């Protein structure tokens, strides 16, 4: 039942941020499913309420499987704990506490005080993984950073002349749109913006509540006002973080196209860029390179999750850029290791995803091997 609640929660992907993904299954006193629901931010109603409405009287004496602790405070909606208690629910099973300080532990306490049996600790790893962006954002106030790169077998991201399209095939690129769909913002370095002139939109074909915010990190403001980014600000915000004193003509022409430029002092500080994005309620950022920006982010310890798409091709060339810049490790023993590694294939390309070892957001336990709820949902949509 908890597996089902997590799958329901995943149906809200792209439509809940800055809130969490939540799914609920109501099981009646005879053990039959009486109602199901998941949270969508714009519907205002929480997953518990949707499922209880569907269950009606059958909820009385039943069990609610909820993928996250129900809240006990008056927010945009009345407390879900009240709704569960009023509906006569006898037992609530929820894997994890909601890290939102307004909720954390209080929802469970309220249910227990009302005589409802509360069981926690079921599928905690899967539930934490499903809401990893929300949990990180709630704990730190900064967006969860997912770094994604595409490289050849020899680790190159472009040829010696800077040609980089396309290293991976259509299926891997469609998968990237799924990753974009899960993110509130996408971030690239200025050199990638200038050389590739990307559009950086979510072309997953799935509904999203807020437009994907496109972020460029550039020391000196040099991105062209004729670039695809600057010309498509009606499709979603474009935000450039640059150092102080940008060229006034360049600034004016970008601003007149609707681009927002955030001046960052004499040196760019990526941690404060993330702070600023957090203040704008951006819960997750997909960093899509290039190598220079990826190196800076990794060396600053700002990356929470890493995905590489590896294509079965060899680009070669001593001077062709490889995926990660910066100083790099001096010894293999110092190389950044990934934990909870998952491998999948998209056409001819291989996707490898993991979490920088030591990142506090994930437990060191190895992956369960089960397909996570978000990937299962993406696969379901792909085959529909």
How many Cβ atoms from other residues are within 10 Å of residue 122's Cβ? 17
48 contributes a contact to ligand NAP by CB under 6 A: no
Number of residues that bind ligand NAP (CB under 6 A): 28
Residue 268 · residue 244 · CB < 8 Å? no
32 is catalytic: no
Q: Which of 293, 326, 323, 294 is nearest to 309 (CA)?
A: 323
Dihedral angle computed from the Cα positions of residues 69, 70, 72 and 76, in that order, rounded to the nearest 10 degrees? 120
Provide, rounded to whole angstroms, the least separation between the CB of residue 216 and ligand NAP.
Answer: 8
The dihedrals phi and psi of 279, each to the nearest 5 degrees, come to: -65, -20
Q: What angle do CA 163, 261, 222 make, to 5 degrees?
A: 40
93 contributes a contact to ligand NAP by CB under 6 A: no
| Rounded Cα–Cα distance for residues 227 and 263 (Å) | 20
Stretch in the footprint of ligand NAP (CB under 6 A) among 36-44, 108-116, 162-170, 174-182: 162-170
Residue 14 · residue 206 · CB < 8 Å? yes
The tokens for 126 are 């899967």
Among 64, 149, 186, 213, binds ligand NAP (CB under 6 A): 149
In terms of CB distance, is 9 or 200 closer to ligand NAP? 200
In terms of CB distance, is 88 or 198 closer to ligand NAP? 198
Q: Which residue among the candidates 48, 69, 132, 288 is catalytic per the annotation?
A: 48
DSSP 136-190: HHHHHSS-EEEEEEEEETTSBSS-TT---TTSS-HHHHHHHHHHHHT-SEEEEEH
In terms of CB distance, is 80 or 150 closer to ligand NAP? 150
313 contributes a contact to ligand NAP by CB under 6 A: no
220 contributes a contact to ligand NAP by CB under 6 A: yes
Interaction residues for ligand NAP, span 240-299 (CB under 6 A): 268, 288-293, 296
325 contributes a contact to ligand NAP by CB under 6 A: yes
| Rounded Cα–Cα distance for residues 282 and 184 (Å) | 6
321 contributes a contact to ligand NAP by CB under 6 A: yes
162 contributes a contact to ligand NAP by CB under 6 A: yes
Provide, rounded to whole angstroms, the least separation between the CB of residue 354 and ligand NAP.
Answer: 17
Provide, rounded to whole angstroms, the least separation between the CB of residue 153 and ligand NAP.
Answer: 13
Pairing of strands 117-119, 91-93: parallel
Query: Where on the chain is the footprint of ligand NAP (CB under 6 A)?
Result: 149-150, 157-158, 162, 164, 167, 188-192, 195-196, 217-220, 268, 288-293, 296, 321, 325
Enzyme catalytic residues: 48
């Amino acid at each position: 039942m908890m597996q089902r609640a997590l799958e329901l929660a995943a149906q809200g992907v792209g439509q809940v941020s800055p809130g969490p993904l939540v799914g609920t299954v109501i099981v009646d006193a005879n053990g039959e499913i009486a109602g199901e629901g998941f949270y969508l931010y714009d519907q205002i109603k929480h997953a518990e309420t949707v499922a209880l409405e569907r269950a009606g009287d059958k909820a009385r004496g039943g069990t609610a499987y909820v993928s996250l602790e129900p809240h006990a405070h008056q927010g945009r909606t009345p407390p879900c704990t009240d709704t569960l208690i009023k509906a006569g629910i006898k037992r609530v099973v929820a894997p994890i506490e909601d890290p939102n300080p307004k909720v954390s532990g209080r929802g469970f306490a309220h249910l227990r005080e009302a005589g409802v049996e509360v069981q926690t600790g079921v599928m905690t790893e899967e539930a934490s993984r499903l809401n990893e962006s929300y949990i990180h954002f709630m704990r730190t106030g900064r967006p969860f950073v997912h770094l994604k790169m595409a490289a050849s077998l020899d680790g190159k991201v472009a040829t010696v002349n800077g040609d980089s399209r396309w290293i991976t095939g259509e299926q891997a690129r469609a998968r990237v749109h799924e990753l974009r769909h899960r993110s509130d913002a996408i971030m690239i370095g200025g050199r990638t913006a200038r050389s590739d002139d990307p559009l950086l939109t979510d072309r997953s074909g799935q509904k999203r509540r807020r437009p994907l915010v496109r972020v460029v990190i550039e020391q000196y403001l040099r991105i062209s006002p004729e670039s695809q980014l600057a010309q498509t600000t009606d499709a979603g915000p474009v935000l450039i973080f640059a150092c102080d004193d940008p060229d006034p003509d360049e600034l004016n022409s970008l601003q007149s196209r609707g681009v927002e430029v955030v001046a960052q002092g004499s040196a760019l500080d990526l941690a404060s860029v993330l702070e600023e994005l957090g203040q704008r309620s951006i819960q997750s950022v997909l960093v899509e390179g290039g190598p220079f920006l990826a190196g800076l982010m990794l060396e600053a310890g700002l990356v929470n999750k890493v995905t590489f798409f590896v294509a079965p091709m060899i680009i070669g060339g001593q001077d062709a850029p490889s995926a990660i810049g910066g100083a790099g490790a001096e010894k293999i023993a110092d190389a950044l290791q990934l934990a909870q590694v998952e491998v999948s294939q998209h056409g001819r390309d291989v996707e490898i995803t993991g979490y920088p070892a030591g990142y506090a957001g994930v437990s060191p336990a190895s992956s369960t091997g089960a397909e996570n709820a978000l990937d299962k949902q993406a696969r379901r949509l792909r085959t529909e």
